[in-house]
């Protein structure tokens, strides 16, 4: 029986932990059962590239790609490895500044016939998300434990309480919510993420294209509370 709690993931806040880079820069981590890294990148429509020996090398390559871009890069680096063990069933997907694990168009086919769990943070701003997919369907997702959506938003409530998350929204200030989310991920996957595992893994990498931004219409129709319509022309130099 898996008994992981937030206390098992206190190491993520250590100043010496490379995971602190993920928390500060923003990250998305996804765990999927039975899908190899090469297949992950096929679903992401990205060509596999070099192998980074360890998390430090993955971070360095990410920083190099940022330095090589004059503006915001049109792709982000993603690394993936299969968790070692007697039954290598799970693949870990890690990215900095990307949102692959939050794209429904990726997570639905990735989890088709299996399970996928992702959690993320956008860095300095307090936005942290959790997603549980089962057989192509988003079962439970939340930013705050008390505000859940998905096909079965309450199915994880007993596990959430056990790891230190309160589904009622009445959070214990002594519990590290991010550490508890990692513990919840372990409960769903059976994978114990350790600093050593992430630090020493061999990451197959790929540059995943950013999704095209939604274009705004040239003329915006604004209707006020009285039903009066105003048409505003949008100019490119306004944004």
What does the domain layout of the chain look like in residue ranges? 6-238
pLDDT at 13: 93
226: confidence class by pLDDT, cuts 50, 70, 90: low
Query: CB within 8 A of 189, min separation 6: which ones?
Result: 31, 33, 90, 115, 117
pLDDT at 55: 97
Candidate from 35-49, 81-95, 154-168, 195-209 with smallest mean pLDDT = 81-95
Query: CB within 8 A of 25, min separation 6: which ones?
Result: 96, 97, 123
pLDDT at 85: 80
Phi, psi of 163 (to 5 degrees): -85, -15
Tokens of 47: 């060509």
**Is the pLDDT reported for residue 162 higher than 80?**
yes
pLDDT at 216: 40
pLDDT at 238: 42
Query: What is this structure's pTM?
Result: 0.86
**Is the pLDDT reported for residue 87 higher than 90?**
no
Helix (H) or strand (E) run with residue 206 in it: strand 202-209
105-152 per-position pLDDT tens digit: 999 999 999 999 999 998 877 789 999 999 999 999 999 999 999 999
The total of other beta-carbon atoms located within 10 Å of residue 61's CB is: 19
pLDDT at 23: 92
**Is the pLDDT reported for residue 208 higher than 50?**
yes
pLDDT at 12: 95
Q: At which residue do the structure tokens 């016939």 appear?
A: 113
Q: 7-36: b or e for each residue (b if 16 or more CB lie within 10 Å)?
A: ebbeebeeeebbbebbbebbbbbbbbbebe
Residue 149 burial (C-beta neighbours within 10 Å; 0-12, 13-18, 19+): exposed
**Is the pLDDT reported for residue 215 higher than 60?**
no
Q: What 3-state DSSP class applies to 65? A: helix
Whole-Å CA distances, 216 to 72, 220, 224, 231, 236: 20, 8, 20, 14, 10
Q: Considering the chain, what percentage of its residues have pLDDT values greater than 90?
A: 72
* Span 175-203, average pLDDT: 96
Tokens of 98: 């990307």
Query: CB within 8 A of 96, min separation 6: which ones?
Result: 21, 22, 25, 26, 27, 59, 62, 76, 77
* Span 182-187, average pLDDT: 98
18-71 per-position pLDDT tens digit: 899 999 999 999 999 999 999 999 999 999 999 999 999 999 999 999 888 766
């Amino acid at each position: 029986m898996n008994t992981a709690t937030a206390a098992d993931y206190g190491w993520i806040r250590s100043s010496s932990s490379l995971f602190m880079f993920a928390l500060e820069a923003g990250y998305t981590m996804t765990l999927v059962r039975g899908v190899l890294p090469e297949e992950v990148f096929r679903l992401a429509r990205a060509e596999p590239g070099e192998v980074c020996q360890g998390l430090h090398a993955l971070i360095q390559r990410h920083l190099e790609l940022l330095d090589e871009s004059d503006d915001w890069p049109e792709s982000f680096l993603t690394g993936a490895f299969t968790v070692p063990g007697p039954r290598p069933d799970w693949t870990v997907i890690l990215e900095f500044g990307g949102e692959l694990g939050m794209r429904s168009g990726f997570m639905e086919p990735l989890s088709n016939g299996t399970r996928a769990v992702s959690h993320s943070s956008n860095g300095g701003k307090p936005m942290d998300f959790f997603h549980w997919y089962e057989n192509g369907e988003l079962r439970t997702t939340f930013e705050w434990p008390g505000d859940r959506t998905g096909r079965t938003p309450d199915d994880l409530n007993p596990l959430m309480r056990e790891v230190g998350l309160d589904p009622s929204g009445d959070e214990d200030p002594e519990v590290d919510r991010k550490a508890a989310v990692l513990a919840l991920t372990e409960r769903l996957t059976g994978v114990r993420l350790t600093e050593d595992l992430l630090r020493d893994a061999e990451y197959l990498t790929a540059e995943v294209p950013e999704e095209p931004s939604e274009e705004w219409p040239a003329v915006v129709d604004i209707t006020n509370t009285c039903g009066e319509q105003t048409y505003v022309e949008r100019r490119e130099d306004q944004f």
